[in-house]
Amino acid sequence: MAYSILTTMVKFPTVDKRNLFENNKPLYDSSKRISPAIGELKEIGRYRHLLAQLIRRDILTRYKRSFLGVAWTMLNPLGTMLVMTIVFAKLFRADMGEIPFSVYILSGLIVWNFFSQGTNAAMSGLVWGGNLLQRIYVPRTIFALSAIGTATVNILLSIIPLFIVMLITRAKFYLSLLFLPVPIFLLICFTLGFGLVISSLAVFFPDVSEMYQILLVAWMYLTPIIYPETIISESMMVFYKLNPMYWMVKIFRIPILNGVLPSWADMGISAAIAFGTLIIGWFFFTSKSDEYAYRV
Amino acid sequence: MPTVSKIVNNTLNETNREPMIQLDSISVRYNLPTERIGSFKEYAIRLIQRKLKFKSFWALNDINLTVYKGEVFGIIGANGAGKSTMLKIISKVMHPTKGRVRVWGHIAPLLELGAGFHPELTGRENIFLNGALLGYSREQMEAVFDDIVSFSELNNFIEAPIRTYSSGMYARLGFAVATAHQPEILIVDEILSVGDEAFQKKCNDRMTEFRENGATVLMVSHSMDVILSMCNRVAWLDRGKLMAIGPADQVVAQYREGKP
């Protein structure tokens, strides 16, 4: 009796040489895994240098061989805006009041370009990185993060042509412009979350990246970017409000065009969409992250 | 070579054995679809018809092994034996289906040389990019930058885009970056066959230097001569099973005879 108590109470050390080193904690232990979503955050912290290098690489390589270099980041939306303004200005001008149509279009395009470029780069980044993921360990989310990081540099650069167009069209420079970092931050969160979902789907189904291009075109026209919100009928507005990009564009434009801050309701809905998408995207992506090395 | 005998003695000395890598009943299962399913439509149809067939096979089957500090450990076996899968499990690229891996130290993989280089970037920029892929910060790479340039003999070309490099220059730079910092564990997957003879000698010298400094080396090779000249101990894998493990000459002899 006493003996059995003793054996259950006291755990005898097993005769195993490994136990000598058991207190010597391994750097990597496959059995000690915290939730992948949390673990990934830690890994990103450890690999922050790689993140910086990847963003640097994307920016350097994008402009290295072109004559105008970084200027293209600014000229690209400017050119699209010019075309759009010429084509659509006649159609919609009446509805715009004192807001210059070109500024309206350009501010919308800046948001849209960020989203479409960011998500596309996240997708191609993971497929490109797949080659690497099979050979060496890097945190899986790093390609999406660096894609969004590059897009963030670009959006900051594209603010410059926006201001130039505002000067030319004699648009007012409101103090509310100082609020812009907040909508940009929410846009980053939303784009990252969505980019994570779409890029992990693209790994499993190669069709996705082709389908996504078509989806993007449709999505862009379903978002009031090149036409004023006022032409949308009351009954259609319900559907517009289900479109996350409607909110992202809206809260970015209000401080530029109207000189006021977005309402609390607008900000609340936008923040819920942005953080919700980011959290869902992060958990979805990391829950599949063991499989990427097998699949890509 | 007094250092090699020191290492051999070290590994044979039971009291001094400090594990660096330990695999406990590791199994890895691959699920391969019998046909490639590339579209949603096909996937959905098959899912409904329950015709989603997977051929699953065990790339590694219940592997137990320990690699000790300071060893040069070789892995041999025919193609498809599971050697690369084993390296992937150890370097955290894949997660085992069953079992437990533990690694006591930082791993530097000698990738297929130059994987992760970007052709448009200069040699200099690629050094920092590749260093970051291996987990080193900019400062850490700056500290060894001159060493990398001189080791890879790229002095005049370091500011040129890497797409202009010859394959030999590519390989030299890749090796120089991967080995610029001495890792605690170096993984070598069949790479020492690249480059000319002079460069191969340089690579071998650097590996020997690492070994003398107490680094653990894990290498995969099809060349038994390389294995015999470099390794203390060897594991022989065949279709995912561990056939033999022990001193290099013994296991290589078994492997050549085909008898475990």
Determine, for residues A47 and B132 on separate chains, whether the beta-carbon distance falls below 8 Å. yes
Q: From the CA atom positions of chain B, what is the Rg in Å?
A: 21
Cα–Cα dist A252/A265, whole Å: 14
ipTM: 0.76
Confidence at B33, pLDDT banded by 50, 70, 90: low
Packed helices A101-133 and A207-221: angle between N→C axes, nearest 10 degrees? 170
pLDDT of amino acid A89: 73
Partner-chain residue, chosen from A27, A65, A136, that has the shortest CB–CB distance to B133: A136
Determine, for residues A53 and B132 on separate chains, whether the beta-carbon distance falls below 8 Å. yes
And the tokens for A12? 């005898």
Cα–Cα dist A53/A45, whole Å: 14
Laid out side by side, the sheet with B241-247 consists of B107-110, B185-189, B216-220, B72-76, B233-238, B241-247
Bridge pairing between strands B216-220 and B72-76: parallel
Determine, for residues B103 and A27 on separate chains, whether the beta-carbon distance falls below 8 Å. yes
Position B14 pLDDT exceeds 60: no
Question: Contact, B109 vs A136, CB < 8 A?
Answer: yes
- pLDDT per residue rounded down to tens, chain A (296 residues): 444 444 444 444 444 444 444 457 777 887 777 788 888 888 899 899 999 989 988 888 877 766 677 777 778 778 887 888 778 777 766 567 778 888 898 899 999 999 999 999 999 888 777 778 877 888 989 999 999 999 999 899 888 889 998 999 888 899 999 999 999 999 999 999 999 999 999 888 888 888 999 999 999 999 999 888 888 888 888 899 999 999 999 999 999 999 899 999 999 999 999 999 999 999 999 988 877 777 65
Cα–Cα dist A175/B124, whole Å: 44
Partner-chain residue, chosen from B38, B118, B134, that has the shortest CB–CB distance to A206: B38
Confidence at B3, pLDDT banded by 50, 70, 90: very low
pLDDT of amino acid A95: 60
Contacts of A60 in chain B (CB under 8 A): 120-121, 125
